[in-house]
Structure 1
Amino acid sequence: MSFQEPAKEFHGLPVVRFSPDRRPDAAAEEAAWLLEADFVGSPSLGEVIEAFLASVDGTRVTALLLGHIEYEGPDGADTLADVADRLPALRALSLGHEQDFCGMEATGDFTPVLQRLPRLERLDVRGRYDLDLRPVRHEALRTLRVESCNLPPEVMRAIADSDLPALERLDVWLGVDGGDIEAADESDLGAVLTGERLPSLRALALENSGVQDEIAERIATAPVVTRLRRLSLARGTFSDRGAEALLTGQPLTHLEHLDLHHHYLSDDMEERLLSALPTTEVDLGGGRGPWYGPFDEEVFNFVEDGRDF
């Protein structure tokens, strides 16, 4: 599980927490505004947003973070979508910002957010409960980050089936199966691997998965890799099996950065990777020792953020 440090910056702007009880601490366009609601009780997220828009000129707000969304009440995505027309200048949005566990956030269907914010350039989504997406076309989005302990397969497939011509960076945490909840796996990656709907993609992260080796085997022959500058298969169960697939697959020497931190590689395999990619910055931090399988332990104990809920 992960406990995140409070963000100080988002989309190039300082993060300023909005409080309904006092006057705003910055001009509308000079901050990335953090709006938080309690898990239970009041004020609700909707009430916090309404108080914010009553105090700050929403037409000048460019960056917004929604955090600590309550368990009860409307999902964060629905609540934001309802006021999207009052935020015409919004360029960067974080839904489910900075929860202690990535599975606790009730984020909802974020399709309407993309549909109603056509000028959005960055969207960060964190959560599990009710997380949903339908295939969408968005002309302006340049960065999409989706973090989940148990990413629903249909969300991964919807990402793959979306037309995102401007997207330069895609980060997805697939997570692991939890209880009766199935997590996305390598079979759900679809057109992400071909890159046919992502012509501008230069950075790809498929992380925090219990099938990290299987993902690496798909990556080893994926057409999209040839135009990437940065690739990450970090945070999951990446082992010698996945590394062997990368080493025997298509060349990776064009990569500027390969992130494999939190891995289960042997010392010999670490040396082979570094020798094969002398001009690539390879992150092999957080080694957990060779992978021998989960045995009697749940696989969520073997990824970086896999707390089961």
Structure 2
Amino acid sequence: MSPVVDPRSGHLSRFHGMPVFTLPAPGQGDGPFPAASTVAWRVAGEAWDGAFTPVWRRFLDEVAVEEVTALVIGAWWDDDHTTGIAPTVGRLIEERHRFPALRALQLADVVGEESEISWIRLCDLTPLLHAFPRLEKLGVRGGDDLDLEPLRHEALRELRIESGNLPRRPVQGLGGCELPALEHLDIWLGAEEYGADTTVEDLLPLLHPGGRLPALRHLGLANSEIQDGIAAAVAGAPVVPQLESLDLSMGTLGDEGGSALLAGQPLTHLRTLDLRHHYFSDPMAARMRLALEPYGVRLLMSRVPVFTGHSRYVAVSE
């Protein structure tokens, strides 16, 4: 279950079931370091001083990277925090032969003091996934320059994209992917003001996967200004019966979307339905609870205060 969190609240403390250990920069701390396979290694420069390259070199030189199973990339720039992450991902791809055990990767574990989420420049993830065919978990934060071509990846079990400005192209690419092992998919769409332009139609291949996502058990389509439209599409989506949990949180979901969910296919098989950060009226919230909680569905709901003259907003945008 994905939490409703603001990326500015802190760096990852656990990843892939292990504590995160941030490798000190050269001269800031000596070993002994943890055993390579016992922690998720966080490699990052300083928020404003940059200097990622010396830390990366220390990682390769002083850690048994062939035993590393989980890697977190934090502030990846050397000088300018607006530098895209593509060269850093390129480094990882070039050194892929040194990471035979890598199974989990998080890109851009940065917080607001380092870079606003809408400023983060990502890259095409297609070469990365081809380079690591045994990768099981991939998380990315940001949206600018993010891309993904349709591909088949046999091992990926979890994919998480946290964005305040997700463009439609990678969503369309993801919709064409064959991911037979994928169990957990979370996508934060974001706000049009910051560049999000994904439509409900772009999401339909994920809702009607036609055998491309046979193992999917959790789906999150969250943090969206089109949350009502997404809810209406989910209400009749063929993927829903195979799910154990559904996340439509963090967006502008209101009574229209709630009514569509209740009028659609049964959701009583779900273990968890996350509708936090919603704009339901009291009657709609009561209807939702009455329709689902008696069947044992764990229903997560929290309403956003509505102020006169203010429009609905997503939880994470800038």
SS at match of 1:262: strand
Contact 2:228 2:253 (C-alpha < 8 Å) held by counterparts:
yes
Gaps of 5+ in 2: 1-5
What is residue 52 of structure 1 aligned with on the other side? 59
Match of 1:31 among 14, 26, 39: 39
SS at match of 1:247: helix
Equivalent-residue separation in structure 1 for 2:73 and 2:152 (angstroms): 23
User: Please, what TM-score do these two structures have when normalized by structure 1?
Assistant: 0.91
Mapping of residues 43-192 of structure 1, within 5 Å: 43-44=51-52, 46-70=53-77, 71-72=82-83, 75=86, 76-100=88-112, 101-178=116-193, 181-192=195-206
Gaps of 5+ in 1: none
Alignment CA distance shift 1:184-1:158 (3 Å): same
Contact 1:149 1:174 (C-alpha < 8 Å) held by counterparts:
yes
**Deviation (angstroms), 1:58:** 1.4
Question: 2:244 matched to 1:232?
Answer: no
Q: What code does the residue aligned with 1:85 have?
A: H
Alignment CA distance shift 1:3-1:182 (3 Å): closer
SS at match of 2:71: strand
CA deviations 1:124-170 (Å, max 9, x no partner) are 01112221211121100100000111111001111111110000000
Q: CA RMSD in A?
A: 2.0
User: Please, what TM-score do these two structures have when normalized by structure 2?
Assistant: 0.88
Contact 2:74 2:110 (C-alpha < 8 Å) held by counterparts:
yes
Question: What is the percent sequence identity of the aligned residues?
Answer: 41
Equivalent-residue separation in structure 2 for 1:199 and 1:15 (angstroms): 31
Shifted more, 98-107 versus 218-227: the winner is: 98-107
Equivalent-residue separation in structure 2 for 1:104 and 1:244 (angstroms): 35
Alignment CA distance shift 1:136-1:292 (3 Å): farther
Q: What code does the residue aligned with 1:222 have?
A: A
SS at match of 1:30: coil
Q: Give the paired residue count.
A: 299
Contact 2:144 2:165 (C-alpha < 8 Å) held by counterparts:
no
CA deviations 1:237-265 (Å, max 9, x no partner) are 00000000000001111011000000101
**Deviation (angstroms), 1:24:** 5.2
SS at match of 2:9: coil
Equivalent-residue separation in structure 2 for 1:93 and 1:32 (angstroms): 9
Equivalent-residue separation in structure 2 for 1:108 and 1:81 (angstroms): 13
Q: What code does the residue aligned with 2:11 have?
A: P
Alignment CA distance shift 1:208-1:24 (3 Å): farther
Question: 2:238 matched to 1:256?
Answer: no
Alignment CA distance shift 1:119-1:2 (3 Å): closer
